[in-house]
Chains A and B, each alone.
Chain A
Amino acid sequence: MTQDQPVVKVKDLVQRIGKKEILKGISFEVVPGEFYGIFGYGGSGKTSLLHIIGGIEKFTRGTVEVLGFNVRKTERFKRHQGIVTQQPSLFRDLRAGENIDFIGALKGADMKGAADLVERLGLKEHLKEPTAALDAGLYKRLSLACALLGPPKLLLLDEPFLGIDPESQKLMLKEIRDFVDSGGTCIACFSSMEVCGAVSSCGWLEDGTLTPMDPSALREKWEEEIRNLYEKRDGENA
């Protein structure tokens, strides 16, 4: 794979679950060093799209290539990716530090940088705590640490900042920026605009269609949507 080739290439992606078409022929590309944000309301299909890119979910039609590999045909791209899922998916039976060691071992990751990563994400004091006992912010930080082991070439984040404290958000955002600045590629899903300014490019996912947008245009669209929502509610109350 050359530097110019897209890290992720999605073409005419259709995902149907039962009779419902969740994704209706989505196409987009993400190039190396890009922080791509997929924005949309809850239930718009962001998680499905991210899981398809990560090779977790099968899809109905279309082509998805990650790092030059067709995800239908191989899993070889997975060794170069890290994922933070929306639902807690770390190993509950292991302690925080053991999750890092375990996932690192399964990735075949070089663990030399792991201690620094743990330090930067403020996890050092929590390594012996049971994973299930961590609060939402610490849990997401730990998830990000596990995802960044390797380090990966592609980082997939599903609602990384949902329901977490500002300190955790700040630490995570810095880590993600550093990762992207060092040449990594990140695709993240959001259902709020808090971090819209942090992404380098983005798209709005609604009714199974992804509309590419400039982050500032997306913010305007979002604010307009909110305004419309309030006006509609006020109209109903009047």
Chain B
Amino acid sequence: MLRKIFAVAAREFQLIWRDAALRRILFFVSILSLLLFFAVYNAQVLRGIPTAVLDLDGTPQSREMQQSIENCEDLKVVLYPTNYKELCGIIEKGEAVVGIVIPENFGRDVTEGKGSKILSVIDGSNLIYANNAVSAVLTVARTHSAELGVKTLISKGVHYSRAQYALMGVVFRDEPWFNPTLNYAFFVVLAMALNVWQQCCTITASYNIIGEMGSRSWLQIKALGISKFLFFFSKSLAHIAGFMLAVIPLYITAFGIYKVPLECSPAKLLLFTLVFAVSVHSLGTLISALCSDSVNAVRIGMVIALPSFILSGYTWPLEAMPVFVQKAAKFFPQTWFFQGFSLLVFKNPGWEVLQPYIFVLMGMSCIFYLLSSAAAAVRS
């Protein structure tokens, strides 16, 4: 029996390796994606957001405000328009993402303690830029307001420490956990590469049954009398081994070379990935058992694999999706993998937290393989 298992698995591995397109898809596309994504997110944290400052006041106070904006490392003042229309043109042309308007009488109002309103115009067409810009502008505004308030109170005879206490009585101290520098690359790059990997795996597994039963060599398999279970089990072993061989370079590159933090042990992550590889293979196998030909199987595989990352809740939270989407997403192994992956990489929670993810993935594998067997039996 071992000779048969080895022969089928070796032939399957050979088949993947000799098919240049399949080989590239499975072994090179994911790692290339990872390298590309790391190059794209090279900055890791968004800094130096192009900013235009329109100073309509021209007083020492407004110049001080301008200085505070220039000193903010998240913002980079690139232009100083002279009127509002010019500022609008700059934002429209994309020369700046943030436009800050210091109003007339800013200096007078601040000196008289009346308070003043600064307008910040933010280009919302790129949400990542916009969110970072809002955060940076708020930081500048908060700091500068506090400084002005302290100065005003001091000018009215209040002692410095009392003035400071009055204005900064409640201080929010930011302390991001698990990704302390809020590094975008750490958060998204490996996950996106794993998304490409899981798509390649689903597509490869989509050939599993129809690729054999739809070919003339199936006559040989039938005539040889080899157990169908043993045959597809051996093929699946080769597929899953291939999936793992394709993911290991991703992990080595991400954690070893790019130093993405990994809270859990590599063995734990690999084990969890193996459980997912089996379940995504079972999904592909089910697709291959239900489709009428290989082309359709690949199409369906792509239709399922492509949106699964977005539906997984890794980037946009699952809880913020409509209830029916949340329910649908839970039928995909990808959802459980990416949620579990995030937990393992950033937090490394205990077994009791991870257990449901593993059990659901294993349960899905059993169900998908059983359904595949039934469909293959009907087809046979």
Knowing A106-B4, A108-B3 touch, does A91 contact B223 (C-beta < 8 A)? no
- In contact, B216 and A89 (Cβ under 8 angstroms): yes
Q: Which residues of B contact A94 (CB under 8 A)?
A: 11, 14
Q: Which residues of B contact A54 (CB under 8 A)?
A: 223
- In contact, B226 and A55 (Cβ under 8 angstroms): no
- In contact, B219 and A87 (Cβ under 8 angstroms): yes
A181 interfacial contact with B, CB 8 Å: no
A44 interfacial contact with B, CB 8 Å: no
- Excluding A54-B223, A102-B11, A105-B6, 10 further A-B contacts by CB distance (< 8 Å) are A51-B219, A55-B223, A75-B225, A78-B223, A85-B223, A89-B218, A90-B220, A93-B19, A98-B11, A106-B4
Q: Which residues of A contact B217 (CB under 8 A)?
A: 89-92
Q: How far is the CB of B246 from chain A (nearest CB, A)?
A: 20
Q: Which residues of B contact A105 (CB under 8 A)?
A: 3-4, 6-7
- In contact, A107 and B224 (Cβ under 8 angstroms): yes
Pick the most buried of B7, B223, B224: most chain A CB atoms within 10 A of its CB: B223
Instruction: Find the B residue at minimum CB distance from A146.
Output: B220
Contact with A along B202-239 (1 / 0, CB 8 A): 00000000000001111111111110000000000000
Docked Cα-Cα span, A75 to B229, in Å, equals 14
A124 interfacial contact with B, CB 8 Å: no
Contacts from B to A (Cβ < 8 Å): 3-4, 6-8, 11, 14-15, 18-19, 215-226
Docked Cα-Cα span, A229 to B216, in Å, equals 35
A206 interfacial contact with B, CB 8 Å: no
Q: Which residues of A contact B4 (CB under 8 A)?
A: 105-106, 108
Docked Cα-Cα span, A146 to B3, in Å, equals 17
Contact with B along A79-118 (1 / 0, CB 8 A): 1010101011111111000100111011110000000000
Docked Cα-Cα span, A107 to B215, in Å, equals 20
Docked Cα-Cα span, A92 to B217, in Å, equals 8
Q: Which residues of B contact A87 (CB under 8 A)?
A: 216, 219
Pick from A89, A98, A102: contact of B219, CB under 8 Å: A89
Pick the most buried of A81, A106, A108: most chain B CB atoms within 10 A of its CB: A106
Q: How far is the CB of B123 from chain A (nearest CB, A)?
A: 53
A76 interfacial contact with B, CB 8 Å: yes
Q: How far is the CB of A50 from chain B (nearest CB, A)?
A: 10
Knowing A102-B7, A105-B4, A106-B8 touch, does A76 contact B225 (C-beta < 8 A)? yes
- In contact, A56 and B224 (Cβ under 8 angstroms): no
If over half of B's interface residues share one DSSP class (helix, strand or loop), that class is named, otherwise mixed; here it is helix
Q: Which residues of A contact B222 (CB under 8 A)?
A: 55-56
Knowing A94-B11, A94-B14, A106-B4 touch, does A89 contact B220 (C-beta < 8 A)? yes
- In contact, A56 and B219 (Cβ under 8 angstroms): yes
What's the A-B contact tally at a CB cutoff of 8 Å?
Answer: 67
Supply 22 A–B pairs (Cβ within 8 Å), ascending by A: A55-B225, A56-B219, A56-B222, A77-B225, A83-B223, A87-B216, A87-B219, A88-B216, A89-B217, A89-B218, A89-B220, A90-B217, A90-B220, A91-B220, A93-B14, A93-B18, A98-B11, A102-B7, A102-B11, A103-B220, A103-B224, A107-B224
Docked Cα-Cα span, A38 to B100, in Å, equals 93
Docked Cα-Cα span, A94 to B217, in Å, equals 11
Q: How far is the CB of A151 from chain B (nearest CB, A)?
A: 15
Residues 46-80 of A at the B interface (beta carbon under 8 Å): 51, 54-56, 75-79
Q: Which residues of B contact A83 (CB under 8 A)?
A: 219-220, 223
Instruction: Find the B residue at minimum CB distance from A83.
Output: B223
Instruction: Find the B residue at minimum CB distance from A58.
Output: B380
Docked Cα-Cα span, A94 to B215, in Å, equals 14
Q: Which residues of A contact B221 (CB under 8 A)?
A: 106
Q: How far is the CB of A49 from chain B (nearest CB, A)?
A: 14
Q: Which residues of A contact B6 (CB under 8 A)?
A: 105
Pick the most buried of A76, A77, A98: most chain B CB atoms within 10 A of its CB: A98
Q: Which residues of B contact A146 (CB under 8 A)?
A: 220
Q: How far is the CB of B37 from chain A (nearest CB, A)?
A: 33
Q: How far is the CB of A206 from chain B (nearest CB, A)?
A: 25
Docked Cα-Cα span, A162 to B353, in Å, equals 66
Pick from A78, A92, A101, A102: contact of B215, CB under 8 Å: A92
Q: Which residues of B contact A51 (CB under 8 A)?
A: 219
Q: How far is the CB of A185 from chain B (nearest CB, A)?
A: 16
Q: Which residues of B contact A76 (CB under 8 A)?
A: 225
Docked Cα-Cα span, A127 to B105, in Å, equals 91
Docked Cα-Cα span, A103 to B215, in Å, equals 16
Q: Which residues of B contact A55 (CB under 8 A)?
A: 222-223, 225
Instruction: Find the B residue at minimum CB distance from A158.
Output: B219
Docked Cα-Cα span, A89 to B219, in Å, equals 6
Pick the most buried of A77, A94, A156: most chain B CB atoms within 10 A of its CB: A94
- In contact, B223 and A81 (Cβ under 8 angstroms): yes
- In contact, A79 and B225 (Cβ under 8 angstroms): yes
Instruction: Find the A residue at minimum CB distance from B222.
Output: A56
Q: Which residues of A contact B18 (CB under 8 A)?
A: 93
Q: Which residues of B contact A78 (CB under 8 A)?
A: 223-225
